[in-house]
Amino acid sequence: MLATIINVFNLWFAGRIVRRVGKAAATVARLSAITLPPTTLGVLAIAIAGTFLPDLPGIACRIVAASLFMAYAILGFAVLHALTRDLSFRPVLLIAAYGAVIVLGWPVVAAAFLGLARCCLQHPRPPRRQPGPSTTYPELLTRIPNQ
Protein backbone atom coordinates (compact mmCIF):
# COMPACT_ATOMS: atom_id res chain seq x y z
CA MET A 1 0.00 0.00 0.00
CA LEU A 2 2.74 2.44 0.94
CA ALA A 3 4.71 1.58 -2.20
CA THR A 4 1.68 2.37 -4.37
CA ILE A 5 1.17 5.72 -2.64
CA ILE A 6 4.85 6.57 -3.05
CA ASN A 7 4.76 5.62 -6.75
CA VAL A 8 1.67 7.77 -7.36
CA PHE A 9 3.32 10.66 -5.54
CA ASN A 10 6.49 10.24 -7.63
CA LEU A 11 4.41 10.21 -10.82
CA TRP A 12 2.60 13.38 -9.77
CA PHE A 13 5.86 15.06 -8.76
CA ALA A 14 7.51 14.12 -12.06
CA GLY A 15 4.55 15.60 -13.93
CA ARG A 16 4.93 18.84 -11.98
CA ILE A 17 8.65 18.99 -12.80
CA VAL A 18 8.07 18.34 -16.51
CA ARG A 19 5.33 20.97 -16.59
CA ARG A 20 7.57 23.51 -14.81
CA VAL A 21 10.45 22.90 -17.22
CA GLY A 22 8.09 23.17 -20.17
CA LYS A 23 8.97 19.84 -21.78
CA ALA A 24 5.52 18.26 -21.48
CA ALA A 25 4.48 16.77 -24.82
CA ALA A 26 0.83 16.76 -23.81
CA THR A 27 -1.27 18.20 -21.05
CA VAL A 28 -1.07 16.36 -17.75
CA ALA A 29 -4.41 15.03 -16.55
CA ARG A 30 -5.74 16.23 -13.22
CA LEU A 31 -5.90 13.70 -10.40
CA SER A 32 -9.57 14.46 -9.88
CA ALA A 33 -10.36 13.37 -13.46
CA ILE A 34 -9.51 9.67 -13.06
CA THR A 35 -12.19 7.07 -13.65
CA LEU A 36 -12.33 3.29 -13.61
CA PRO A 37 -14.36 1.11 -15.96
CA PRO A 38 -17.53 -0.34 -14.44
CA THR A 39 -16.29 -3.92 -14.92
CA THR A 40 -13.54 -3.29 -12.37
CA LEU A 41 -16.07 -3.56 -9.55
CA GLY A 42 -17.08 -7.05 -10.70
CA VAL A 43 -13.45 -8.14 -10.97
CA LEU A 44 -12.85 -6.85 -7.44
CA ALA A 45 -15.84 -8.81 -6.12
CA ILE A 46 -14.61 -11.99 -7.80
CA ALA A 47 -11.09 -11.44 -6.48
CA ILE A 48 -12.37 -10.89 -2.93
CA ALA A 49 -14.41 -14.09 -3.17
CA GLY A 50 -11.35 -15.89 -4.51
CA THR A 51 -9.22 -14.89 -1.52
CA PHE A 52 -10.81 -17.75 0.41
CA LEU A 53 -9.33 -20.30 -1.99
CA PRO A 54 -6.36 -22.26 -0.67
CA ASP A 55 -2.74 -22.07 -1.82
CA LEU A 56 -1.69 -20.34 -5.05
CA PRO A 57 -5.17 -19.39 -6.40
CA GLY A 58 -5.97 -17.67 -3.10
CA ILE A 59 -2.67 -15.80 -3.12
CA ALA A 60 -3.23 -14.67 -6.72
CA CYS A 61 -6.73 -13.45 -5.83
CA ARG A 62 -5.34 -11.57 -2.82
CA ILE A 63 -2.86 -9.79 -5.07
CA VAL A 64 -5.57 -8.83 -7.57
CA ALA A 65 -7.92 -7.71 -4.77
CA ALA A 66 -5.23 -5.60 -3.09
CA SER A 67 -4.25 -3.99 -6.39
CA LEU A 68 -7.83 -3.11 -7.30
CA PHE A 69 -8.50 -1.93 -3.75
CA MET A 70 -5.59 0.50 -4.08
CA ALA A 71 -6.95 1.65 -7.45
CA TYR A 72 -10.23 2.49 -5.73
CA ALA A 73 -8.31 4.23 -2.93
CA ILE A 74 -6.58 6.42 -5.52
CA LEU A 75 -9.98 7.11 -7.05
CA GLY A 76 -11.20 8.04 -3.56
CA PHE A 77 -8.38 10.53 -3.22
CA ALA A 78 -9.36 11.92 -6.63
CA VAL A 79 -12.88 12.44 -5.29
CA LEU A 80 -11.43 14.11 -2.20
CA HIS A 81 -9.44 16.46 -4.44
CA ALA A 82 -12.57 17.30 -6.46
CA LEU A 83 -14.72 17.87 -3.37
CA THR A 84 -12.22 20.17 -1.71
CA ARG A 85 -11.39 22.25 -4.78
CA ASP A 86 -13.20 25.39 -3.57
CA LEU A 87 -12.36 25.17 0.14
CA SER A 88 -9.98 27.67 1.66
CA PHE A 89 -8.42 25.07 3.98
CA ARG A 90 -7.93 22.51 1.18
CA PRO A 91 -4.14 22.15 1.59
CA VAL A 92 -4.49 21.42 5.30
CA LEU A 93 -7.25 18.88 4.70
CA LEU A 94 -5.36 17.08 1.94
CA ILE A 95 -2.10 17.01 3.93
CA ALA A 96 -4.02 15.60 6.90
CA ALA A 97 -5.66 12.93 4.73
CA TYR A 98 -2.43 11.83 3.06
CA GLY A 99 -0.52 12.03 6.33
CA ALA A 100 -3.10 9.86 8.09
CA VAL A 101 -2.80 7.22 5.40
CA ILE A 102 1.00 7.25 5.54
CA VAL A 103 1.21 7.22 9.36
CA LEU A 104 -1.76 5.05 10.28
CA GLY A 105 -2.44 3.06 7.12
CA TRP A 106 -6.04 2.15 7.78
CA PRO A 107 -7.60 5.45 6.55
CA VAL A 108 -6.90 4.19 3.04
CA VAL A 109 -9.96 1.98 3.56
CA ALA A 110 -12.13 5.11 3.84
CA ALA A 111 -10.57 6.47 0.64
CA ALA A 112 -11.23 3.15 -1.12
CA PHE A 113 -14.88 3.18 -0.03
CA LEU A 114 -15.17 6.76 -1.29
CA GLY A 115 -13.80 5.57 -4.63
CA LEU A 116 -16.18 2.61 -4.65
CA ALA A 117 -19.10 4.95 -3.95
CA ARG A 118 -18.09 7.20 -6.84
CA CYS A 119 -17.81 4.22 -9.15
CA CYS A 120 -21.25 2.94 -8.16
CA LEU A 121 -22.86 6.36 -8.51
CA GLN A 122 -21.01 7.43 -11.65
CA HIS A 123 -21.97 4.53 -13.91
CA PRO A 124 -25.76 4.33 -14.07
CA ARG A 125 -27.38 1.52 -15.97
CA PRO A 126 -27.46 2.19 -19.71
CA PRO A 127 -30.88 3.15 -21.06
CA ARG A 128 -32.80 0.51 -22.93
CA ARG A 129 -32.58 0.73 -26.69
CA GLN A 130 -35.76 1.83 -28.32
CA PRO A 131 -36.81 -0.41 -31.17
CA GLY A 132 -36.42 1.41 -34.43
CA PRO A 133 -35.41 0.95 -38.02
CA SER A 134 -32.09 -0.81 -38.40
CA THR A 135 -29.46 0.77 -40.57
CA THR A 136 -26.77 -1.24 -42.31
CA TYR A 137 -23.19 -0.11 -42.69
CA PRO A 138 -23.43 0.57 -46.48
CA GLU A 139 -26.50 2.74 -45.85
CA LEU A 140 -24.55 4.79 -43.33
CA LEU A 141 -21.75 5.29 -45.85
CA THR A 142 -24.16 6.69 -48.41
CA ARG A 143 -25.36 9.27 -45.86
CA ILE A 144 -21.87 10.73 -45.39
CA PRO A 145 -21.55 13.89 -47.48
CA ASN A 146 -18.77 13.93 -50.06
CA GLN A 147 -15.94 16.34 -49.42
| The overall pTM is greater than 0.75 | no
What pLDDT is recorded for position 117?
Answer: 85
At 90-116, the pLDDT tens digits run 899 989 998 898 888 888 889 889 888
> Please, which residues have CB within 8 angstroms of residue 3's CB and are 6 or more apart in sequence?
none
- 103-114 as b/e: b if 16+ CB within 10 A: eeeebbeebbeb
Least confident interval from 34-43, 70-79, 94-103, 133-142: 133-142
- Output 90 or 121, whichever has higher pLDDT: 90
**pLDDT at residue 75 tops 70:** yes
Contact 116, 71 (CB under 8 A): no
Contact 46, 65 (CB under 8 A): no
**pLDDT at residue 124 tops 80:** no
